Amino acid sequence: MTLPYPDALSLSRRVLHVLIALNLAAGVLILALFVMSLVAPSWLTTALGGRLSDGGAAILLGMRGIMLIGIAAVPLTHVVLSRLLAIVDTVRAGDPFVVENAARLQRIAWSVLGLTLLNVAVMSIATSISSPSFPIDIKWRFDVSRWVTVLLLFVLARVFEHGTRMRDDLEGTV
């Protein structure tokens, strides 16, 4: 079977490999920043312009919480990217409608749900530690597209699963 856009699949694979590497690098950098916030909190305060004097302990604690959430996001993002890469590979192989892809889409859906909940947690922390003397410019808003994406991924996983079963049944009757 000839694929209509083989270059797009090759580009997708390369982009996904780069994103996986960047995700892991970001995780290492966030972890290093977290460790630095424990080992040398005054350095972090100075790096942020020394603006932590008013309520500094709460702000530092909130920033550490956000860093931990960032670290927790790394494996969830890795699941999304690596499963998507595996799906792209099945498309390149010519048979994307396999049971494994339905399971991969479901794992992606759960991971995106986790990332969406982590985003809510970051917004909550940022809102709680923001003050007039230390404003944190993160806009709190309900993002419908994130939640629709999660629902769409769960539905798409079921569609893949059902379609795969139907195709297997059809091939069994021929």
Residue 144: inside a domain: yes
Is 1 domain-assigned?
Answer: no
- Sign of the Cα torsion 115, 120, 126, 132 reads positive
- At residue 53 the predicted structure's pLDDT band, cuts being 50, 70 and 90, is low
Structural domain of 59: 6-173
Taking all residues of the chain, what is their mean pLDDT, rounded to a whole number? 87
In contact, 105 and 87? CB cutoff 8 Å: yes
The two tokens of residue 122 are 């970051």
Number of domains in the chain: 1
**Stretch 40-46: mean pLDDT, rounded?**
77
Q: What angle do CA 55, 61, 62 make, to 5 degrees?
A: 90
Name the pTM for this structure: 0.85
What are 86-102's pLDDT values in tens digits? Answer: 999 999 888 888 889 99
83 domain-assigned = yes
pLDDT in tens, 122-170: 999 988 887 777 777 777 778 899 999 999 999 999 998 898 888 877 7
pLDDT level of residue 6 (50, 70, 90 thresholds): low
Neighbouring residues of 174: CB distance < 8 A, sequence distance ≥ 6: none
